[in-house]
A and B are shown apart, each in its own frame.
Chain A
Amino acid sequence: MTGILDRPSNAQISQSLQARSRARLRGLSEAQLLAYLADTVYLERKRFHEQRRSDPARPDEVARIEDCARATRGGRAEQEAALLALVDAYSGEIHNRFSKRAYRVATTVIPGALSRLLTSTNPRQLLAGEFDPDHRVILETAAGDDGAALRALARRHTLIFAPTHLSNMDSPLIGYALDRLGLPPAIYGAGLNLFSNPVMGFFMRRLGAYTVDRRKRNRLYKDVLKDYSVDSLGRRCHSLFFPGGTRCRSGRVEGSVKKGLLGTGLIAWQEGLRTGRADPEILVVPLALSYSLVLEAETLIEDSLEEEGRRRYIITDDEFSEPRTVATFARQLLDLDDAVVLRFGAPMDLLGNPVDANGTSLGSDGAPIDRRAYVTDAEGKVQADEQRDHVYTEILAGRLVEAWHRDNTVLSTHLASFAAGRLLRQANPGLSTTELVLLPTEERTLRRAELLAAIEQLLDQVRRLEAAGRIRARLPRGEGEVEAILNEAISRFRGFHSRRVIEGRGDRVVLDPRLLLYYSHRLHRYGLAGEM
């Protein structure tokens, strides 16, 4: 078996990615090749100009693009050579610096040092102390076991973990979760900006992160990134995709998915079938993350509320860029019971069908189906069809979205926020969401008793959704549960954010509508009336 622990060299990766690119370029007409090259030159020059002050391009980067520019006036061979030189450079940038030794060290110390991982400024400080995360970071699997079913699947198949994405803490937390469940490590693409936190950068690289420079928007770079994913899956590297792309700005469970990276699973699978590779099967494991508090909530919801939110695709100045802020947050978050819930959903094939314990696809009647027939002809030969695969990926995306919503865990901070938001909405029926978040203090104050009644009503609705298997909940139960939910939420919100989301003041509570909106969004898309 190969995988992340048998990391290929930079030269091997470059050779493989160049071969894929060469095949792609050969399929282009002369006009298409020229357009491909010109697109790369134009967008890279534009990038150089845009970041000339913040992060000037290196001379070798500029030289390669200028070689490409000259090649636009040359023949086909010259154009291909210029692009392949760029592929070589990109492959070096992207390929992870995963280190087997560092991985082993990290996975040994992380269970006892997760908080320090997030709070240290020097990796060497990681080696001391005890920390029991069992009640802080809750790990659940659809099989209801300790991860044995997933471990068995991971031994025989390549797994793609597909989580929701809320925070930059997600990937280290998932790395930790994989280790705690005894699952092998997974590679994942991480934005360059995430490496600005030195400790996180150190571990992200060594826990399988490969570098994604989102400032590079040219088609060649995107194609090389996809090829890298296909290549890695083909080498049996378990992979971690964030199908939603960037962190969800609104705090919602993602309702849509970017298809580019997700589609690489189908490509790698069919390539494996076509070439007769051993163990070509690839399965997808949905993963729903629920945080009591989200480090970057304030920045993200502000961004979501701004119409131009999408322009800030790369946020470099959020709470995550400040090691001290991360430290404070991690200390406070990880001091809470049920601080974070990671639920590994039921594994599925690349078409979104459920699979059994052996990884065999199952039909709606629970009977085994031969999934290869989705991509092969009657003689069992793989039939290439990009358009078909695009629709298959859309179907998989839809099944992932359903799974994330089913596996989403409601925590007290989410429930109390939705209930409070519902009351704000009822009190201000004519206002838009944007107007609601601008309410003055006196108009965003509620009677505590009124909020408790709203929580009780919402709790009943959530329990019904939970009984129907449409959502999960981890909330105080039993006598006085409503009061306990509100108290827990207020206490948690007191912890970190610069503004209190819900603040108790005697028989009244004062709300921060922006953050309320963010946390209430965890209950979006369940048909609950009165959403903010």
Chain B
Amino acid sequence: MNIGILGSGPWGRALATLAAEAGNRARIGYRGTPPTGFPGSPNLAALTAESDLVLIAVPPSAVREVVRFARPGPGSRVVIACRGLEPETGGWLSEIVTSESACLRVGAITGPAIAAEVQHRRPAAMVVASSFQEVAALTQKALHSPTCRIYTSSDLRGIELAGAAVSVLSVAVGIADGLKLGVGVRAVIVTRGIAEIVRLGRALGAEPDTFRGLAGVGDLIAAAGLTDHPGTAAGLALARGHAVDAETVSKAAALLALGQRHKVELPLVEAVAAITAGKLKARLAIDGLMRREATHEG
């Protein structure tokens, strides 16, 4: 199979590695410097037209522009391989593909696969979701190999939400680590963070089990164990009183706005949004969370 990967960063190259491991021909679409190790093309539209499956591995803020350049058509199958909501609109990345192009067959892939580990051929696992079984099956065929297990799901909304949530909750983990609050707090963030997202997922029609699997708990545990994970690293920086990049700020704000639109309370996400936006000090935020009214677990 011809696999087109749009995005030449570490994650794009990691996906190309997985596709090659699974016996497929991977090509990387890039803008700027050509990638090393894999054939590449600066012509995203041509690459898309020639690919059986297209994986988008750019930051959420760049997805719309990439789709406009790539112009996937009615015969294309496109899978979002990045986490988050579109910062400006708060929209789902898969819906950007369907609204900006004639492509309808879309999916999303996420899970605890770390770019550097994948490139070193260490075992990994991810989950791909699509309303179209053929898209999920095709992605499984494209990336499943002895070094990476790919599971399939039909819960596209849940998978996209889980990805967006992990990118924000990992910031909370970084903050707690930076403030040296201990392993217990890290576990609290993971479990209570997932509980928040399960609530939001329910409101959006997602399946709760999705968040307890690779895309939710699995991905968050991996992020929590990595100091150079983008979210965790941002949290560590915040704990030291440094500002973070605009992408991190907008990811938290977009997720919080989504919760507000659906009238779902997201205390941890709200705290991260306030800290990343510079509206609240990290330690005060933790204090505020601990002083919330006592309640049942759920």
A364 to B105, CA, bound (A): 15
In the complex, chain B residues whose CB is within 8 Å of the CB of A351: 74, 104
CB distance from A385 to the nearest CB of B (A): 6
Indicate whether B228 reaches chain A with its CB closer than 8 angstroms. no
Residue contact A364 to B75, C-beta cutoff 8 Å: no
Task: List residues of chain B with CB within 8 A of the CB of A392.
Answer: 104
> Which residues of chain A (358-396) have a CB below 8 Å from chain B?
361, 363-364, 369-374, 376, 378, 385, 387-388, 391-392, 394-395
> Which A residues between 385 and 440 are near B, CB-CB below 8 angstroms?
385, 387-388, 391-392, 394-395
Q: How distant is the Cα of A394 from the Cα of B102 in the complex, in angstroms? A: 16
Assess the B102–A364 pair: CB atoms within 8 A.
yes
For chain B, give the interface size range.
10 to 19
* A168 on the B face (CB < 8 A): no
- Against A, the Cβ 8 Å flags (1 = close, 0 = not) of B110-150 are 00000000000000000000011110000000000000000
Of the residues B74, B101, B133, contact of A374 by C-beta under 8 Å: B74
A373 contact from B75, B100, B133, B134, Cβ within 8 A: B75
Given contacts A371-B74, A374-B74, A376-B75, contact A364 B100 (CB under 8 A): yes
B278 surroundings in chain A (CB, below 8 A):
none
Q: How far is the CB of A259 from chain B (nearest CB, A)?
A: 13
**Do the beta carbons of B102 and A353 come within 8 Å of each other?**
yes
Pairwise interchain contact A369-B102, C-beta atoms closer than 8 A: yes
Among A361, A363, A371, A395, residue most surrounded by chain B Cβ atoms (within 10 Å): A363
Write the nearest CB–CB distance from A30 to chain B, whole angstroms: 26
Is A388's CB under 8 angstroms from B74's CB?
A: no
Closest B residue to A368 by beta carbon equals B102
- A362's closest neighbor in chain B, by CB? B102
A363 and B101 contact, CB distance less than 8 A: yes
Q: Judge if B73 is at the interface, Cβ distance under 8 Å.
A: yes
User: Which residues of chain B are near A361, meaning CB under 8 Å?
Assistant: 102
Question: Would A388 and B102 count as touching, CB distance under 8 A?
Answer: no
Structural contact, B74 and A373, CB atoms closer than 8 A? yes
Q: B191 in the interface, Cβ–Cβ < 8 Å?
A: no
B260 at the interface (CB under 8 A from A): no
Which B residue sits closest to A390, measured CB to CB?
Answer: B131
Known: A373-B73, A373-B74, A378-B75. A391 touches B131 (CB 8 A): yes
B132 near A369 with CB under 8 A, answer no
- B74 CB contacts on chain A under 8 angstroms: 351, 369-374
Whether, in the assembled complex, B99 has its beta carbon less than 8 Å from a beta carbon of chain A, the answer is yes
Point out the residue from A363, A372, A387 that lies within 8 Å of B133, measured CB to CB: A387
Is B132 in contact with A387, judged by CB distance below 8 angstroms?
yes
In-complex Cβ contact of A364 among B99, B133, B134 (8 A): B99
> Given the interface contacts A371-B74, A374-B75, does A388 sit within 8 Å of B134 by beta carbon?
yes
Q: Give the nearest-CB partner of A374 in chain B.
A: B74
Shortest C-beta distance, B32 to chain A (Å), equals: 25
Asked if residues B104 and A374 are in contact (CB atoms below 8 Å), the reply is yes
A363-B67 Cα distance, complex, nearest whole Å: 13
In the assembled complex, the CB of B204 is this many whole angstroms from the nearest CB of chain A, namely 15
Task: Kindly report which residue of chain A lies nearest to residue B68, judged by CB atoms.
Answer: A365
Query: Binary interface profile of B, 80-120, with partner A (CB < 8 Å = 1, else 0)?
Result: 00000000000000000001111011000000000000000
Residues from chain B with Cβ under 8 Å of A385 in the complex: 134
List chain B residues, Cβ under 8 A from A387: 132-134
Instruction: Categorize the interface residue count of chain A.
Output: 20 to 34
- Once the chains are docked, how many angstroms separate the CA of A358 from the CA of B73? 20
- CA of A364 to CA of B104, assembled, Å: 12
State the CA gap A63–B105 with chains docked (Å). 48
Contacts of B73 in A (CB 8 A): 363, 369-370, 373
- Chain A residue numbers with a CB within 8 Å of B75 are 373-374, 376, 378
Q: Whole-angstrom distance from the CB of A85 to the nearest CB of chain B?
A: 36
- Given contacts A373-B73, A373-B74, A374-B75, whether A364 and B101 have CB atoms under 8 Å apart is yes
Kindly state the separation between the CA atoms of A106 and B131 in the bound complex, as whole angstroms.
46
Report the bound CA distance from A44 to B152 in whole Å.
40
Q: In angstroms, how far is the closest chain A Cβ from the Cβ of B99?
A: 6
> Is A363 in contact with B132, judged by CB distance below 8 angstroms?
no
B96 to chain A: closest CB distance in Å?
Answer: 11
**A391 in contact with B102 (CB, 8 Å):** no
Q: Tell me how far the C-beta of B95 lies from the nearest C-beta in chain A, rounded to whole angstroms.
A: 11
A369 to B73, CA, bound (A): 8
Which residues of the other chain, A, contact B99 by a CB distance below 8 angstroms? 364
Of all chain A residues, the one with the shortest Cβ separation from B135 is A388
Which residues of chain B come closer than 8 Å to A394, judged between CB atoms?
A: 131
Please indicate the chain B residues that have their CB under 8 angstroms from the CB of A373 in the complex.
73-75
The interface residues of chain B lying within 8 Å CB-to-CB of A370 are 73-74
Tell me the minimal C-beta distance from B225 to chain A in angstroms.
37
* C-alpha gap A395/B102 in the complex (Å): 13
Chain B residues near A391 (CB-CB < 8 A): 104, 131-132
Task: Report A-chain residues with C-beta under 8 Å of the C-beta of B102.
Answer: 353, 361, 363-364, 369
Cα(A326)–Cα(B173), bound, Å: 68
Residues of chain B within 8 A (CB-CB) of A395 are 104
A311 to B208, CA, bound (A): 31
- Residues of the B chain whose Cβ atoms lie less than 8 Å from the Cβ of A353: 102
A363 and B104 CA atoms in complex are apart in Å by 11
Nearest chain A CB to B273's CB is how many angstroms away? 24
B181: shortest Cβ distance to chain A, in Å? 42
Residue with the highest number of chain A CB atoms closer than 10 Å, among B99, B100, B104: B104
Note all chain A residues with C-beta closer than 8 A to B100.
364
Per-position contact with A for B51-77: 1 when CB-CB < 8 Å, else 0? 000000000000000000000011100
Residue of B nearest to A383 (CB): B134
* Residue of A374, A376, A394, A395 most packed against chain B (CB within 10 A): A374
Q: State A392–B134 Cα separation when bound (angstroms).
A: 13
CA distance A395 to B98 in the complex (A): 11
A352 and chain B: residue at smallest CB distance: B104
CA distance A353 to B74 in the complex (A): 11
Chain B residues numbered 186-211 whose CB sits less than 8 Å from any CB in chain A: none
The closest CB in chain B to the CB of A375 belongs to: B74
CB distance from B78 to the nearest CB of A (A): 14
Closest chain-B Cβ to A401's Cβ sits at a distance in Å of 16
**B101 cross-chain contacts in A, Cβ below 8 A:** 363-364
Bound-state Cα–Cα, A388 to B102, Å: 16
The residue of chain B having its C-beta at the shortest distance from the C-beta of A353 within the complex is B102
Complex Cα gap A373–B76 (Å): 9
Closest chain B CB from A132 CB (angstroms): 44
Contact bitstring A334-370, B, C-beta under 8 A = 1, else 0: 0000000000000000010100000001011000011
Shortest Cβ gap from A390 to chain B (Å): 9
The residues of A that contact B104 with a CB separation of less than 8 Å are 351, 374, 391-392, 395
**Bound Cα distance from A378 to B52, whole angstroms:** 9
- Name which of B74, B75, B101, B105 has the most chain A CB atoms within 10 A of its CB: B74
- A394–B101 Cα gap in the complex (Å)? 18
Distance, CA A371 to CA B102, complexed state (A): 9
**A-B pairs with beta carbons under 8 Å apart, 14 shown:** A351-B104, A363-B73, A363-B101, A364-B99, A364-B100, A364-B102, A370-B74, A371-B74, A376-B75, A388-B105, A388-B132, A391-B132, A392-B104, A394-B131
A-B pairs, top 3 by smallest CB distance, nearest first, are A373-B75, A373-B74, A363-B102
Interface residues of A (CB under 8 A from B): 351, 353, 361, 363-364, 369-374, 376, 378, 385, 387-388, 391-392, 394-395
Extra contacts besides A387-B134, A388-B133 (16): CB < 8 Å: A351-B104, A361-B102, A363-B73, A364-B102, A369-B102, A371-B74, A373-B74, A373-B75, A378-B75, A387-B132, A388-B105, A388-B132, A388-B134, A391-B131, A392-B104, A395-B104
